[in-house]
Amino acid sequence: MSVISPSKTTPASTKGSAAGGSRTRPGKLAESGSPTVRPPAAAHLSDEQVAELGRELDAIRDEILAKRGAEDAAYIRRMIKIQRGLEISGRAALLVSKNKAAWVTGTTLLSLAKILENMEIGHNVLHGQWDWMRDPDIHSTTWEWDFVTPSRSWQHTHNDLHHRWTNVVGKDNDVGYNLLRMDEQQPWKPVNLANPLFNAILAPLFEWGIAIYDLELTEYKEGTKSKEALLKDLKALGKKVVTQFTKDYAATPAVAMLTGSGKQALYGTIAANAIRNVWAHAVIFCGHFPEGTDTFTEEMVEGETRGDWYVRQMIGSANISGSKFMHIMTGNLSHQIEHHLFPDLPSSRYAEVAPRVREICQRYGLKYTTGPLIKQVGSSWAKVFKLALPGKTATA
């Protein structure tokens, strides 16, 4: 490197000037060595073993990259077609939803369409899982989803912050979404008594919870997010709220009024959004909160190598076992472990790599948490209740 490289060696500028100068590169993984503290569940592994584990997982990734092609492209296009078919038929049925059967059909189809759009399509497209196709219609930079939070805001808090700092208390705000106490390291406050109540309210309003969360109000208050950035996000959110509201709660009922089904159509869209919210909330909570998933301290990520990062993703995430239909409806987040290892591999490939990831976990003596949906949902709710009460405080 030429040009400005000499300044890289000078210590951090005290003037706080943004131009040029030295720059800390948070998030950069270490080439070798180990974190200051290796997580207890992986403490038995040597640096060499962790490095080897990293190489094995890299090899799995490379193998899938080599295979990725026309078949995968056809898969996502088929999903999009199915989703759009469900969407228009669901909405069409709601237009005549004075008829009870039409209401049930319309609401069901629209719920399915919204779930599919948010989970298997939106979430994964926004991760860049399909960017390799170079199709501007199915790309992380152009996709906007049927969810109230704007894609770009979500991509920042989710792809960048949550996936980079998975389960690191203090760095990954997905641990409780600034609303719930979801880890013993988080000091107990009286408000946490309302944990179960908050969570019960959050579930049917999940998209609104995420929208507020993505504004990063805490960061703004702490001064790490600028006012301009917040205003920009607020503006984008406002625009999205208006279009989403208009579509579901004004335009669809208005057209349905032509058949005297206006009120029913409104109930239908409200129900579809709520059903999608409850489902998404359940699936997301199964990702990192069930019994068996670990959280981490900042010491555990200082000096983290790629291998250690992989380890943290595996012991910090939990899968859901079930049918192929269930996997698709969760957006393959039922393969949360695989998703966290390879967030930008096509979701349709997670099932294929899962047995090999599991085998690696076994061989290295790491846990691989999985269970049926009911059990995992129950387990994450149990945590919501348990941590409502003061218990052990940070002992890690």
Interface residue list for other proteins (CB under 8 A): 1-5, 8, 19-20, 23, 25, 27-29, 58, 61-62, 65, 68-74, 81, 84-85, 87-88, 91, 127-128, 131-137, 139-142, 144-146, 155-156, 159-160, 163-164, 240, 243-244, 246-247, 251-252, 255, 306, 309, 343-344
Q: In the bound complex, what is the minimum distance in angstroms from residue 84's beta carbon to other proteins?
A: 6
Q: In the bound complex, what is the minimum distance in angstroms from residue 112's beta carbon to other proteins?
A: 16
DSSP class of 120? I
Q: For residue 168, what are the β-bridge partners?
A: 296
Comparing CB distances to other proteins, the nearer of 124 and 192 is: 124
Residue 226, classed as helix, strand or coil, is: coil
Render the burial of 204-219: b for 16+ CB within 10 Å, e for the rest.
Answer: bbbbbbbbbbbbbeeb
Q: In the bound complex, what is the minimum distance in angstroms from residue 21's beta carbon to other proteins?
A: 9
d(CA 218, CA 179): 11
Name the residue among 304, 248, 251 with its Cα closest to residue 26: 304
Q: In the bound complex, what is the minimum distance in angstroms from residue 342's beta carbon to other proteins?
A: 8
Q: For residue 214, what are the β-bridge partners?
A: none
Comparing CB distances to other proteins, the nearer of 162 and 383 is: 162
d(CA 185, CA 296): 9
Comparing CB distances to other proteins, the nearer of 128 and 378 is: 128
Comparing CB distances to other proteins, the nearer of 180 and 215 is: 215
Residue 369, classed as helix, strand or coil, is: strand
Name the residue among 132, 126, 173, 120 with its Cα closest to residue 153: 126
Q: In the bound complex, what is the minimum distance in angstroms from residue 143's beta carbon to other proteins?
A: 8
Comparing CB distances to other proteins, the nearer of 19 and 43 is: 19
Q: In the bound complex, what is the minimum distance in angstroms from residue 248's beta carbon to other proteins?
A: 10
Question: How far from chain centre, in Å, is Cα 148?
Answer: 15
Comparing CB distances to other proteins, the nearer of 128 and 292 is: 128
Residue 362's CB: how many other CB atoms inside 10 A?
Answer: 11
